[in-house]
Amino acid sequence: MAMYAFFYCAFFLGVSSEFVWKHHNNEELSAILEEVHENCPNITRVYALTEPSVRNVPLYVIEFSDTPGFHQPYKPEVKYVGNIHGNEVLGRELLLGLAYYLCEEYNKHDRRIRNLIHNTRIHLLPSMNPDGWQLSTDTGGQDFLLGRNNNHSVDLNRNFPDLDAITFEFERQGISHNNHLLKDLTRLAAPLEPETRAVMRWIMSVPFVLSAAMHGGDLVANYPYDESRSGAPVSEYSASPDDDTFRELAMTYAEAHADMASANRPGCRFGDESNAYNFGKQGGVTNGAAWYSLRGGMQDFNYLATNAFEVTLELGCQKYPYEKDLEKEWLRNKDALLAYIWKAHTGIKGIVKDDSGFIQNAVISVVNITDSVPRPIRHDITSGIYGDYYRLLTPGHYEVTASHPGYFPVSRVVTVPTHQTSARILNFKLEPTTSWFDDYTFGVYPHGLRDGQPRIYKRSLYHKVANAMLDKTH
């Protein structure tokens, strides 16, 4: 009996064939995800985004969580997106390898991986552009551009709504509305491609906190904004309100990578050798627009349409690395891939509620009070369906205000420590303005310590407008 139990367990825990480092085609990609799910049925779920690619290939995601399929309060959600440009393929294979690794280590009772999966919901989309991958692969994989676009010859990383233009215009006009800007978009510059539409729906339906998109062609972690304020095509640093946090996120990946942050490695060479700049000389990170400005990218869309913070990872000079180099690349990226997911556990998180329950769409605004001059971070985030919010921040002191129409705002001061493996918990209980009616004339009501200005948000409109836009097919 004992022997039988042993073999029974061995069968379910250890049978899986070894992961083979190779270029997996679109059928093999879904088979790998299914195999990982079979090996780890209780902590994974495989699902497809709402729409397939132009050529009808489903966009598969594997999710890791101890409650697959469900968001839980206090658990940040993270995503990795690979292969947006079809001929940039390393991210695709790294994400398949990462899925296999997470499952295998979980089953081996690796304490750190178990801890990560029990406290985080992780979504991996290995390929956002399977059609481009197919074209690139069918034509030898070594062309710098062939297969980059989707099957309608559209660059998916230029096809997202340009919300940068809206936030820059609001900045110029002194309008403080600084988040969830999709509803402020009046027209699309170009029709949304099915892959873009599918990813937009995904981004807006899952409360992601942290994200990275994987590319190839250079070796650098690139952070928002990607678009310059002046329209300059190159070399204009375009800081977002969360510049400190984004820099730290990008540096986390770069420093945990084998040599992304190395000042001594050679730069990437493309034909003209004078072009061989080594981003390692600046720590392996760059502001997007300081490198080159682009419009309609996915990275800035995440930040300006939702609560998610996304960076763009350029994983190497070779867009389509040789099969023999894939395992070596995995070893060079493995620690960085894990360290980056852990960054979802930095800053603060909490629940906003009142006497009767959770408050959804509460606005969390933050002032950095670490230095003598307080610096507001002009990018608010909002609470989700369980009243839960996640606010990534660098170490320091902050004044945090939770507000919602119909309630008095409440402010609290918090210290974010260094080396976090769990975000500081900061919960808020709000009082409805009506219950204060009697005392109102005395002016003794709680309010923001520095910012008593009411913020007007028509949040109820947000999903309605976003869905209307996505439903437009022309």
Active site residues: 314
Instruction: Point out which span in 29-37, 77-85, 90-98, 221-229 binds Zn ion (CB under 5 A).
Output: 77-85
Can residue 319 be called a binding residue for Zn ion (CB under 5 A)?
no
CA angle 392, 397, 400 (to 5 degrees): 65
Q: What is the DSSP secondary-structure string of 266-335?
A: PPP-BSBGGG---GGGGTTEEEHHHHB--SS-HHHHHHHHSS-EEEEEEEES-SS--GGGHHHHHHHHHH
- Cβ proximity to Zn ion, 92 vs 215, nearer residue: 215
Number of neighbouring beta carbons within 10 Å of residue 11: 9
Query: Crossing angle for the helix pair 326-342 and 90-107, nearest 10 degrees?
Result: 70
Two structure tokens written together for 49 = 């985004």
- Cβ proximity to Zn ion, 297 vs 409, nearer residue: 297
Can residue 88 be called a binding residue for Zn ion (CB under 5 A)?
yes
- Shortest CA distance to 63 belongs to which of 5, 102, 106, 27? 102
CA angle 107, 113, 118 (to 5 degrees): 90
- Cβ proximity to Zn ion, 88 vs 244, nearer residue: 88
| Residue span 23-52 as binding mask against Zn ion, x where in contact by CB under 5 A, dash where not | ------------------------------
Q: Of how many residues is the chain composed? A: 474
Shortest Å distance, C-beta 85 to Zn ion: 4
C-alpha distances out from residue 280 to 71, 256, 318, Å:
37, 13, 17
- Cβ proximity to Zn ion, 35 vs 218, nearer residue: 218
Instruction: Point out which span in 80-88, 243-251, 291-299, 356-364 binds Zn ion (CB under 5 A).
Output: 80-88
Interatomic CA distance for residues 178 and 170, integer angstroms: 8
Q: Restricting to residues 278-297, which ones interact with Zn ion according to CB under 5 A?
A: none
Can residue 92 be called a binding residue for Zn ion (CB under 5 A)?
no
Can residue 85 be called a binding residue for Zn ion (CB under 5 A)?
yes
- Cβ proximity to Zn ion, 213 vs 352, nearer residue: 213
Total residues binding Zn ion (CB under 5 A): 3
CB contact at 8 A, 161 and 301: yes
- Shortest CA distance to 1 belongs to which of 157, 9, 26? 9
Two structure tokens written together for 136 = 């690139």
Interatomic CA distance for residues 270 and 463, integer angstroms: 44
Instruction: Point out which span in 33-41, 86-94, 261-269, 274-282 binds Zn ion (CB under 5 A).
Output: 86-94
| Residue whose pair of structure tokens reads 């976090």 in the numeric block | 420
Instruction: Point out which span in 88-96, 205-213, 277-285, 328-336 binds Zn ion (CB under 5 A).
Output: 88-96
- Cβ proximity to Zn ion, 35 vs 88, nearer residue: 88
Shortest Å distance, C-beta 149 to Zn ion: 11
- Cβ proximity to Zn ion, 145 vs 189, nearer residue: 145
Q: Restricting to residues 192-221, which ones interact with Zn ion according to CB under 5 A?
A: 215
CB contact at 8 A, 236 and 293: yes
Instruction: Point out which span in 78-86, 204-212, 276-284, 374-382 binds Zn ion (CB under 5 A).
Output: 78-86
SS (H, E, C) 332-363: HHHHHHHHHHHHHHCCEEEEEEECCEECCCCE
Amino acid type, 89: V
Shortest Å distance, C-beta 168 to Zn ion: 24
- Cβ proximity to Zn ion, 63 vs 88, nearer residue: 88
- Shortest CA distance to 97 belongs to which of 133, 134, 124, 57? 124
Can residue 121 be called a binding residue for Zn ion (CB under 5 A)?
no
CB contact at 8 A, 438 and 340: no
Q: Restricting to residues 226-255, which ones interact with Zn ion according to CB under 5 A?
A: none
Shortest Å distance, C-beta 470 to Zn ion: 24
Instruction: Give the interface with Zn ion as residue ranges (CB under 5 A).
Output: 85, 88, 215
